[in-house]
Amino acid sequence: MSAENESGMAAQPDPRVLLERLHIEQPLIGLYDAPDPAPFEPLVRPAAGRTCMWTFYEDWLRGATAHFTADQFGCGGFGRTYFGVEMRSREEFLSFLADDEGLRASRELMGQWVDSGTTRPSRLGNMLIGPWRPELDQYLLTITFLVNPDQLSALVIGANYHSAPSDPDPVLVPFGAGCGEMCVPFKSLDVAPATIGATDIAMRQYLPADVLAFTVTKPMFRRLCSLDERSFLFKPFLGRLQKARARQAGKQTD
């Protein structure tokens, strides 16, 4: 559980131990729904035309936050997911996904997926994606770790650390657009699942080949930040893996 600070407010989870033990150097990325974008500056916005939100990856690394609205949302998938903007008729949409891109065996199956709950409209008018800002927690929806396969493996273990076999699966691997994977699969943001994301092949061109996403709700983030010396973070399996990678890296640079 989070400790209280001097003002009596619950302190924000501290991810430093987790990040240090897993050698995660990429910034944590927050998905926010806020009434005013100003506190998130510096901001970057999508240009006219289709702009995938993942094109802002390098901007996030430099500390900038991507700002989206119902009038300036970049990709049609993002507009539909977070602002309810329909750029195509239903038939055109299903044909594009099932026939043109071959993402489902039939339009019928694709239609069932679309109807299963694939949107999360903004409530406050501004969707923002960028470096995690603990001081703006009231607007935070999810937190995303940008990780390599080894780090992803450890985070999956961390997500299962407090889970009983009878509990709901703590890690989901959803089908969907790269932007939607950051929020839509969570039926509630008040429980503690995680998703493995950045699996949308349409957006992976904007990421390094070895980077995937691990997105968590705030309750799961607190769980991960609570991992201590008793956990696998300080045990031999992880240490041996990291030593093996260091040896492999040394051979590659010889």
Determine the Cα–Cα distance for residues 215 and 221; give it in Å rounded to an integer.
Answer: 9
Q: What is the residue whose two structure tokens read 């926010």?
A: 32
DSSP state of 73: -
Report residue 130: phi and psi, to 5°: 180, -170
Instruction: Give residue limits of the domains in the chain.
Output: 16-84+119-253
Determine the Cα–Cα distance for residues 99 and 104; give it in Å rounded to an integer.
Answer: 8
List the chain pLDDT tens, one digit each, 254 residues: 444 455 445 678 999 999 999 999 999 999 999 999 999 999 999 987 789 999 999 999 999 999 999 999 999 899 999 999 988 899 999 999 999 999 999 999 999 999 998 899 999 999 999 999 999 999 999 999 999 999 999 999 999 999 999 999 999 999 999 999 999 999 999 999 999 999 999 999 999 999 999 999 999 999 999 999 999 999 999 999 999 999 998 876 44
Tell me the Cα Rg of the chain. 19
* pLDDT at residue number 158: 98
pTM score: 0.92
* Residues β-bridged to residue 66: 44, 129
